[in-house]
Amino acid sequence: MSDALQIRKAPRQRRAVHTVDALLEAAAQVLEADGLEGFNTNAVARRAGASIGTLYQYFPSKDALTLALLLREDQAFHEAASATLTLPTCREALAAFIVVCARQQLNRPQLALLLDQQEDRPDFRAALHGKFRFRALLIAILSKAGAPAHLQDDQRKDLAAADLLALMRGMTDSAGGRGERDADDLAHRIGAAAFGYLDAAPRQM
Amino acid sequence: MSDALQIRKAPRQRRAVHTVDALLEAAAQVLEADGLEGFNTNAVARRAGASIGTLYQYFPSKDALTLALLLREDQAFHEAASATLTLPTCREALAAFIVVCARQQLNRPQLALLLDQQEDRPDFRAALHGKFRFRALLIAILSKAGAPAHLQDDQRKDLAAADLLALMRGMTDSAGGRGERDADDLAHRIGAAAFGYLDAAPRQM
Amino acid sequence: MSDALQIRKAPRQRRAVHTVDALLEAAAQVLEADGLEGFNTNAVARRAGASIGTLYQYFPSKDALTLALLLREDQAFHEAASATLTLPTCREALAAFIVVCARQQLNRPQLALLLDQQEDRPDFRAALHGKFRFRALLIAILSKAGAPAHLQDDQRKDLAAADLLALMRGMTDSAGGRGERDADDLAHRIGAAAFGYLDAAPRQM
Amino acid sequence: MSDALQIRKAPRQRRAVHTVDALLEAAAQVLEADGLEGFNTNAVARRAGASIGTLYQYFPSKDALTLALLLREDQAFHEAASATLTLPTCREALAAFIVVCARQQLNRPQLALLLDQQEDRPDFRAALHGKFRFRALLIAILSKAGAPAHLQDDQRKDLAAADLLALMRGMTDSAGGRGERDADDLAHRIGAAAFGYLDAAPRQM
DNA sequence: TATGAATGAGTGTTCATTCAT
DNA sequence: AATGAATGAACACTCATTCAT
C-alpha cells in the first residue's frame, strides 16, 4: 500500500520522459472524454500510443497513475495559489486565491471535477498533501491582517478554511459542468459568498 | 435508453412492494458501507435477502436501481423543501430551505454524497427532474418579496439558483465527510455565505 | 487470506453439484496433461465445458480451486490409509499403509506428483490438515505393538514419521514418473527401505 | 528446442565471465528468496546488477538460465560424489555418497528443493545428463565388491539406483524443508533406509 | 558490449445480465 | 413470482522477450 502508489521508476532516457508525459496526458484526456467509467489502463495506454506494458513500467497500478495525474494537475495550480500569500491583507489574498481557483477549474472543468472526486478517496488522502496544502494555504490567508476578529481561534479558522474550500469547489464544479467560461465572473460570485461568510457574525450558542 | 432506466414493473402484491423497498434500502446501505466500488447488483440483492433474479424483475438495469434510489432519497427531501415556499419573504424561505438541506445531508452523509455525484451523470440528468426541481424551488424562493433587486432578471435568477445550490452542496458534502452532526450550525454557516452572495452588488462589466 | 481459500458457495441445485464436480475433474486433467504451467483457470473452465464466471462462482480464486482438488484427491486416500490403523501390530499396519500409498500414487501419478508439490506451499500448509493428518496417522502406527524400542521417545517418533513419509513420497513420485504400474512391487521395495530404517540402531552421538 | 536451452555465447572477456557468474548467483538467490513464483528474468537481472538486455545476451531464454543454474549447482556436487568411487566396497562408497548428498542438500536447501523439481521437467530431462549421471554413479557403486547378490542383474541394479536416488531426494528435501542442519545425522538416517533396502530379499513373483 | 525502453499475449478476476427451472 | 446457475465481455496487471540507442 505504501509504494503501490508511488511512481515505479524514474524515466532516465529522454524517450522515457516523453512516454510518461504522454501517458499522463492520455489519462487526462480519457478521464475528460469518457468519465470515470471509461477510465481504464488499456484505454489510457492506447490513447498514449503506448503498450499496456509500458504503462505499468512507470505506474505500478491504476491508482498510481491517477495519483500522478492528480499531482500533475495540482502542481501549477498550487504554485499560483501560493503566490497569493505575498499579498498583505486577508481580503486581497482571498480574492486572488479565488481567482486562481476559478481559472484552474474552468481550464479543464471535466477533468478538474473528476479529480476533485478522486481526491476524496481515503487512500489518496493519505498519500497526498494536496488537499491539505490548499487548506493550509487558506488558513494562512485567514491569518493575515484584516481577517475577521472571530477567526482568531484556531479551530474556527480551520472550520472556515474547510467551508470556504468546499464552497469554492461546489461552485466551480457546478460552473464547469454548466460550461461557463468566464473565470473572472465566476470568481466574483464566489467572492460574494466567501466574503459574506467571513463577515457574518458567528452563531451564538 | 427510454425504458432502460424505468422501473420494470410496478409491484402489485404487498409482498412485492416490500421486496422493492428492501432492495432500495439494501442499495442505500451497500452504497454507504462500501462506496461506489462496492455497489454492485449482486451485493444489493444479497443484502436485501433477495435473489439477483428478483432484483432484475423490478429493475431492468443497475442504473434503474440507482435512479430509483435517487428518487426515493429526494422524495421526502423535496417535500420538506417545498414547504418552505409557504413562507412569505425570500430571506425566511431561503433560511428554511438551507436548514432542510443541511438536515437531509447530515442524516446519511455518505449516501447523500454519493448520490449527489450520481446525479451529475449525464444520462441521469436527462432522466431526472430532481435536480432541476430543486432549482425551480430555489428560483421560486428568489422571486419572493424581499429578494435583491438585481435578481429581477430571469437569467440572473437562474444563475443565482445554480450557484446557491452548488454552494450548499459543496458545504454540506464536505461537512458530512468530516463527520459533522450539528445541522443547525452548518445551516447557519451556509446561510452566511448564501446571504452574502445575494446581498453583494452584481459585477459591473 | 482466511476465506480466500474456502469454497465460495455450496452448490444447492443438482446441476450446480455436477458443475463443481466437472470443474474439479477438469482441474485434475489439466494439471495432468499440461503440468503446473498449463494449469490456469481459463483452461480448467474450458475443459469443464463451463464459463470462467461459473468457475469463480464456486471457487473464489485459483488457489481455492487447487486446494479443493487437493482435498478431493486426499479424501479417499486418507480413508483407506486410516483403515490400516485397525491392524494390531506396527509392522502389519505400516506394510498396509505403504501399499495404500503406492496404489494411490500409481493411480494418477502425474497428478499426485504435482499435488504433492502444491501441498508444500506455506499458505496451503496452513489451510490444510492433510499432510499432517498423514503424519499423525504414521505416528499412530509407530505407536503400535512391536514398534522399535528406540521410538518410545515422542520426538524420535515424530522424526521417523517425517522421514518415512518423505521416503515414500520420493520413491512413489519417482516410480510414477517412470511409468511404473505395479503398485505391489513398488510397495515391497518401499517396505524394504522403511523397515530397514526402523530396524536400524539409532545413531550414537 | 536444440539451441534454445544452450548458453548463447561463451563469455570471452573476464568482465563477461563475472557477469555470467553474477547472473547465475542472482538466479540462485531469487529462487531461494522468492520461490518459483518470484523467479523471473527481470528480478534476476536486477539482483545481479545487470540489465535485462545483458541477461539475454548470455541466456537465450529463461529456461536456458534455469538450466545453467542447474548445471552449476550439480557441478561441485557431482565431483564430490564421483570421488566416492575410489572407495573399495559398495557399502563404504554408498555411505560416503549419502553423506555427500546430505551435505549438498542442507547447504542451500530451498534452492536444492526447487532445482530438484525443475530437473523433472521433461524438456530439462532431455537436455540434461545430470540426473542420469548420478544414477550412473550409483550404478557403479552398486557394482562394487560386497553388493547384494540379487543386484547382479543390470535391470535390477538400474531400478535400485533409481529407488535409492528417489529415497535420498525425498528425505533430504523434507529435512531441508524442516530446517534440519545436521547433515551427518540425516545421512545416518538415510543410510539406515538405503541399506535396509539393499539387504532386503527381492520379492518373489 | 551494455542498456533499458517498449512490447503484447496471457492470466486472474469481477460483475451486469439472462434464463431455465 | 422467485430462484440461482450460468454467461462472457471487460479489466488490472505480469513477464518473457526484442531492439534501437
- From chain A, the residues in CB contact with B167 under 8 A are 167, 170-171, 193
Q: Which residue among A113, A163, A168 sits closest to B189, beta carbon to beta carbon?
A: A163
* CA–CA distance, C204 with B203 (Å, rounded to integer): 101
- Where b means 16+ CB within 10 Å and e means fewer, A153-165 reads eeeebebbbbbbb
CB contact B162 to A (< 8 Å): yes
Closest protein residue to E18 (Cα–C1'): B53
Contact B165 A174 (CB under 8 A): yes
- From chain A, the residues in CB contact with B165 under 8 A are 174
Does residue D61 lie within 7 Å of nucleic acid chain F, judged by its CB?
yes
Single-letter amino acid, residue D132: F
pLDDT in tens, C57-101: 999 999 999 999 999 998 888 889 999 999 999 999 999 999 999
Closest protein residue to E14 (Cα–C1'): C53
Q: Is the pLDDT of residue D26 over 70?
A: yes
* CA–CA distance, C12 with D2 (Å, rounded to integer): 52
What SS3 state is found at C114? Answer: helix
* CA–CA distance, A111 with A102 (Å, rounded to integer): 14
Helix axes D90-107, D154-177, angle to 10 degrees: 30
Nearest-CA distance D205 → chain C (Å): 9
Helix axes A90-107, A130-142, angle to 10 degrees: 150
Does residue B56 lie within 7 Å of nucleic acid chain E, judged by its CB?
yes
Does residue A44 lie within 7 Å of nucleic acid chain E, judged by its CB?
no
What SS3 state is found at A76? Answer: helix
The 10 Å Cβ neighbour count of residue B155 is: 7
Contact B173 A193 (CB under 8 A): no
Closest protein residue to E11 (Cα–C1'): C40
* CA–CA distance, D171 with D163 (Å, rounded to integer): 12
C-alpha R_g of chain B: 19
Q: Spelled out in words, what is the top-level CATH class assigned to the domain C3-199?
A: mainly alpha
Does residue C51 lie within 7 Å of nucleic acid chain F, judged by its CB?
yes
The 10 Å Cβ neighbour count of residue C88 is: 10
* CA–CA distance, A150 with C77 (Å, rounded to integer): 80
Nearby residues of D127 by Cβ (< 8 Å), 6 or more positions away: D5, D67
Nearest-CA distance D54 → chain C (Å): 26
Contact B178 A163 (CB under 8 A): no
- Give residue D33's Cα distance to chain centre: 19
Does residue C50 lie within 7 Å of nucleic acid chain F, judged by its CB?
yes
Q: What angle do CA A76, A78, A81 make, to 5 degrees?
A: 110
Q: What is the pLDDT along chain B (205 residues), one digit of tens a residue?
A: 335 777 766 666 667 788 899 999 999 999 999 999 899 999 999 999 999 999 999 999 999 999 999 989 988 888 999 999 999 999 999 999 999 999 999 999 999 999 988 988 888 888 877 666 888 999 999 999 889 988 888 999 999 999 999 999 999 999 999 999 999 999 999 999 999 999 987 876 5
- Give residue B169's Cα distance to chain centre: 9
Q: Is the sign of the CA dihedral C12, C15, C21, C23 positive or negative? A: negative
Q: What is the pLDDT along chain A (205 residues), one digit of tens a residue?
A: 336 788 887 777 788 889 999 999 999 999 999 999 999 999 999 999 999 999 999 999 999 999 999 999 988 888 999 999 999 999 999 999 999 999 999 999 999 999 988 988 888 888 877 666 888 999 999 999 888 988 888 999 999 999 999 999 999 999 999 999 999 999 999 999 999 999 987 876 5
Single-letter amino acid, residue B133: R
The 10 Å Cβ neighbour count of residue D67 is: 24
* CA–CA distance, B147 with B138 (Å, rounded to integer): 12
Query: pLDDT at position A10, please?
Result: 77
Q: Do chains B and D touch (3 or more CB pairs under 8 A)?
A: no
End-to-end CA distance of chain A: 44
- For cell 562394487, the residue is D144
Nearby residues of A205 by Cβ (< 8 Å), 6 or more positions away: B185
Query: pLDDT at position C58, please?
Result: 94
Does residue A8 lie within 7 Å of nucleic acid chain E, judged by its CB?
no
Q: Which residues pair with C89 in a beta bridge?
A: C145
Does residue C18 lie within 7 Å of nucleic acid chain F, judged by its CB?
yes
The residue ranges of every structural domain in chain D are 3-199
- From chain C, the residues in CB contact with D159 under 8 A are 189
Closest protein residue to F15 (Cα–C1'): D40
* CA–CA distance, D99 with D187 (Å, rounded to integer): 5
Does residue A42 lie within 7 Å of nucleic acid chain F, judged by its CB?
yes
For chains A and B, CB pairs below 8 A equal 92
Q: Residue C145: phi, psi to the nearest 5?
A: -60, 140
Query: pLDDT at position A52, please?
Result: 96
Q: Identify the chains in contact with B, defined as 3+ C-beta pairs within 8 A.
A: A
Q: Which residues pair with D145 in a beta bridge?
A: D89
- Give all strands (DSSP E) within C12-100, no chain letters: none
Cα nearest neighbour of D175 on chain C: C163
φ/ψ bin of D18: left (φ > 0), alpha (ψ from -120 to 50), beta (otherwise):
alpha
- CA dist A99 → A105, B133, C10 (Å): 10, 30, 60
Query: pLDDT at position A1, please?
Result: 38
Contact C58, C23 (CB under 8 A): yes
- Give residue C134's Cα distance to chain centre: 8
Residues in chain C, pLDDT under 50: 1-2
Cα nearest neighbour of A190 on chain B: B197
3-state helix vs strand vs coil in chain D, percent to 5: 75, 0, 20
* CA–CA distance, B67 with A30 (Å, rounded to integer): 25
Contact D174 C188 (CB under 8 A): no
- From chain D, the residues in CB contact with C39 under 8 A are none
Q: Give strand letter and number of the nucleotide nearest C56 (CA to C1').
A: E13
Contact C194, C167 (CB under 8 A): yes
pLDDT in tens, A3-61: 678 888 777 778 888 999 999 999 999 999 999 999 999 999 999 999 999 999 999 99
Nearby residues of A180 by Cβ (< 8 Å), 6 or more positions away: A106, A186
Contact B167 A194 (CB under 8 A): no
Contact C93, C156 (CB under 8 A): no
Contact D166 C185 (CB under 8 A): no
Bases on strand F under 7 Å from any protein CB: 1-20
CB contact B38 to A (< 8 Å): no
Does residue B52 lie within 7 Å of nucleic acid chain E, judged by its CB?
yes
DSSP state, D85?
G
What SS3 state is found at B190? Answer: helix
D 24-53, residues with C-beta < 7 Å of strand F: 37-42, 52-53
Interface of B with A in 112-131 (CB under 8 A): 117, 120-121
Query: pLDDT at position B1, please?
Result: 37
Contact C194, C168 (CB under 8 A): yes
Contact C158, C109 (CB under 8 A): no
Q: Residue A185: phi, psi to the nearest 5?
A: -65, -45
- Give all strands (DSSP E) within D38-143, no chain letters: none
DSSP letter string, D142-177: HTSBT--GGG-SHHHHHHHHHHHHHHHHHHHHHHHH
- For cell 463443481, the residue is C20
Nearest-CA distance B16 → chain A (Å): 32
Closest protein residue to E5 (Cα–C1'): A16
C 83-102, residues with C-beta < 7 Å of strand E: none
Q: Is the pLDDT of residue D205 over 70?
A: no
Nearby residues of D29 by Cβ (< 8 Å), 6 or more positions away: D47
Q: Residue A120: phi, psi to the nearest 5?
A: -80, -10
Q: Which residues pair with A145 in a beta bridge?
A: A89
- For cell 517425517, the residue is C162
- CA dist C123 → A180, C4, C136, D40 (Å): 57, 11, 20, 21
Query: pLDDT at position A123, please?
Result: 86
φ/ψ bin of A153: left (φ > 0), alpha (ψ from -120 to 50), beta (otherwise):
beta
Does residue D120 lie within 7 Å of nucleic acid chain F, judged by its CB?
no
The 10 Å Cβ neighbour count of residue D180 is: 20
Does residue C46 lie within 7 Å of nucleic acid chain E, judged by its CB?
no
Contact C5, C127 (CB under 8 A): yes
Query: pLDDT at position C204, please?
Result: 66
3-state helix vs strand vs coil in chain A, percent to 5: 80, 0, 20
Q: Identify the chains in contact with A, defined as 3+ C-beta pairs within 8 A.
A: B
pTM above 0.85, yes or no: yes
* CA–CA distance, A203 with C205 (Å, rounded to integer): 87
- CA dist D83 → B28, B132, D88, D92, D94 (Å): 76, 92, 12, 12, 11
Instruction: For residues D72-92, give the mean pLDDT.
Output: 91
* CA–CA distance, A24 with A17 (Å, rounded to integer): 11
* CA–CA distance, C184 with D203 (Å, rounded to integer): 10
